[in-house]
Structure 1
């Protein structure tokens, strides 16, 4: 009787994959779809006080001319400002994401760069908010009959898009702070005053300068945080152009400029002295910017700067009203 074969009991050897192992397919983990929290985070709520401050100051300045509270127009101006602010944040997410600028960002992850949302979806959301700003702006124009302001609104939306959008975004050429000062400071403040009373008193201009300076400070804190990543990506923000130390100096000046304005206004509107309380968060933001060790600390500075802005806006508006 023949002995049973042992070959059947031997374990089979695993065959090595054929071909060049370096050319083996790489499995890439698919990003999880964006949640509601991700979309809210991409709206960058820390920056929204920049939309409130000029509307508060502009409305207060309007009540110097006419003591009636034009609440419908004031709310419409606020809707324009908030929608533009959110729209530009989503537009930045889209534009920086498709360029690869946000691939190594330090702050909160972006929707486009992280792959959690399709670029076209992020762009669509940005355009929706721009459209909402346009609708609110058209409503203001119809109510006030100042038809020439349609051109102002169109320029605001175009400026919001070309901050990081288009072939030659001005945010990549160190001009972001200048445009922020003009549109989120002077235009937003004096425009809010004008649509309510048809005039722009000097108080509105002073308030616009202060609001613009604080808005620029927020942008500087953001760009200082991302200075190394922006330099590597070829994004020539003002911080990249002038360097870290000069950015810290400029940030400090922008944070302090509004307070001499408040002191000057307090000579005629005594309640404006209370605006000096905003020096507390302003000093905290300045301290963080000068002493930070981890760029993530500047996210806190950004939020504190926004808090300073809204506190300042409330104080100046209250001084004008009472």
Structure 2
């Protein structure tokens, strides 16, 4: 009986851990890890890298994104948008019975830890970072919180791409080097576009449900087919941008390795064509997220190769 009790307790703990892990939507967290890695790799090309600052920036960025995901879980539930059959949600409230207040408190706790890490970063770089960090956290909250959530508007892709792509890369670079370079700005553009593509793919998948709930996302405004074409265009611009930077000798030819991620982009676009049911579009949405991950890691690796070789 004691052995059986221990097994039940262990299974319960594992189930609880997996439940919370799912709330963080870990497949999306690479959208924070990738920009920090790229900004730090760029800094390495222009000098040395402080590992503690890198880790503080990485953890703070991950916590802010995880908190954003939890705020999304909380406010979608409060607005009656999520139910047990909803696709692509953490489901902690509607499926696993986690109290909404608990989800909100954990999100705020993540913000608090990120603030502490931010203070360390500012103390070792510049206090101007504090102002930028506050703006980022406010934006993260109002992405799904407040009376006019950004995620429910046509500007979700632009806002998410800008803050998680451009801003994170530039902060990660600045705290190491103490300045901003043209190269860091230009390399941040395709990353921001691909992060926006993740949001667009999510909105393509949820188009019908979002329309019924009164959202006005970009995918709803332009329609499903045009949204899919826009997604393909965003991929094309991202890869074309890298080619232009290479031909202009702004970045090393080693960055051509980013084209190793191109099959995932093709898979994403093809996966959306002819699909109307959310569950049918999940593989395409996953491929879009993987495109961002693979593209970003290959950019960082290409930068490191240009440093090492």
The residue number in structure 2 matching 1:286 is: 269
In the alignment, structure 1 residue 313 sits paired with structure 2 residue 296:
yes
Distance in 1 separating the partners of 2:274 and 2:46: 44
Structure 2, unaligned stretches of length 5 or more? Answer: 1-11
Q: CA deviation at 1:105?
A: 2.5
Preserved CA contact (<8 Å) 2:157 2:199: yes
> TM-score, structure 2 length as denominator?
0.88
Counterpart of 1:105 (choices 82, 86, 89) is 86
Q: CA deviation at 1:184?
A: 0.6
Pairwise mapping of residues 23-102 of structure 1 onto structure 2 (< 5 A)? 35-66=16-47, 68-102=48-82
Q: CA deviation at 1:116?
A: 1.3
Q: CA deviation at 1:201?
A: 1.4
Residues 201-259 of structure 1: CA deviation (Å, up to 9, x unaligned)? 12211221111111111111111111111111112222222221121111111222221
Tell me how large the CA RMSD over aligned residues is: 2.0
Structure 1, unaligned stretches of length 5 or more? Answer: 1-31
In the alignment, structure 1 residue 130 sits paired with structure 2 residue 147:
no
Distance in 1 separating the partners of 2:179 and 2:281: 39
Q: CA deviation at 1:115?
A: 6.3
Distance in 1 separating the partners of 2:30 and 2:285: 11
Pairwise mapping of residues 1-322 of structure 1 onto structure 2 (< 5 A)? 35-66=16-47, 68-103=48-83, 105-108=86-89, 110-114=91-95, 116-144=97-125, 146-267=126-247, 268=249, 269-321=252-304, 322=306
Residues 72-121 of structure 1: CA deviation (Å, up to 9, x unaligned)? 22222111211111110001000111101113623345223346111101
Distance in 1 separating the partners of 2:45 and 2:39: 10
> TM-score, structure 1 length as denominator?
0.84
Q: Which structure carries more relative contact order (alpha carbon 8 Å, separation 6+)?
A: 1
How many pairs align?
289
The residue number in structure 1 matching 2:5 is: none
Structure with bigger gyration radius:
1
Residues 170-192 of structure 1: CA deviation (Å, up to 9, x unaligned)? 22222211111210111011111
Q: CA deviation at 1:320?
A: 2.4
Moved more, 207-216 or 311-320: 311-320
| Secondary structure at the counterpart of residue 292 of structure 1 | coil
Distance in 2 separating the partners of 1:195 and 1:93: 32
> Which protein is richer in helix relative to its size?
2
Moved over 6 A (4+): none
Q: CA deviation at 1:306?
A: 2.1
